[in-house]
Amino acid sequence: MEVYDTIISRRTIRKFKQKPVKLSVLKRLVNAGRLAPSAGNLQPLEYIVIADGIVREKIFPHVRWARYIEPEGNPKEDERPMAYIIILINKENLLVPFYKYDVGASAENITLAALEKGIGCCWIGSFDRKKIKNILKITDDCSIDLILALGYPLEDPGYYDIEKDKSIKYHKDNSGKLHVPKRKLDDIVHIDHL
């Protein structure tokens, strides 16, 4: 698949097959993340890979899922992620506020590399940082910025273009398929705008 096709086929996945993701694959994903651009090349990001089922179960209750459609959007017990990659910020190597660009670039690299391997991903920014920090014994020199939930997809969300000023809230249809509204390209691109 070409990079463009991979990008436009990417959708957030919140329901996963209960098939393990190999540690070698997870390390490959982190490698794709670490090679993303970094402001000032300071490289403040570090990663925690969670593949162990006991640790995954400790983390799961402390993350929030599809806010617009909860609780229907929350993975059931047999749909939970099979791995997490947690993106940390090492506070010693920080260029504020540019580290946020590092996080986004890294997370997107990981997401696209995962999709290439048939693995779905959900970016999670809403979670109990204090509890997860305690569970994982993260030291004070690092903070948790983003959690990527990963696994082989058990759903196939779609998107559709919306008119200006229409709701951006994703929703499920009667069959349970998730639909994600996206603003039209012509409504957001401005050519030679002065």
Task: Indicate the Cα dihedral angle 96, 98, 103, 106, nearest 10°.
Answer: -140
User: 187: domain CATH number?
Assistant: 2.20.180.10
pLDDT, position 194: 59
Residue 113 confidence class, pLDDT cut points 50, 70, 90: very high
> For 50-83, what is each residue's pLDDT tens digit?
999 999 999 999 999 988 888 888 999 999 999 9
Range of the structural domain that residue 107 is part of: 3-154
Sheet of 171-172: strand order equals 158-162, 178-183, 171-172
Say if residue 7 is in the same domain as residue 97: yes
CA distance 87 to 89: 7
The conformation of residue 76, written as its DSSP 8-state character, comes to: P
Q: In the structure, what pLDDT confidence band is assigned to residue 1 with cuts at 50, 70 and 90?
A: low
**106, 92: one domain:** yes
Query: Does residue 132 sit in the same domain as residue 189?
Result: no
What is the pLDDT of the chain when averaged over all its residues? 93
Q: How long a stretch of residues is the chain?
A: 194
Query: Both 132 and 190 in a single domain?
Result: no
134 with 176, same domain: the answer is no
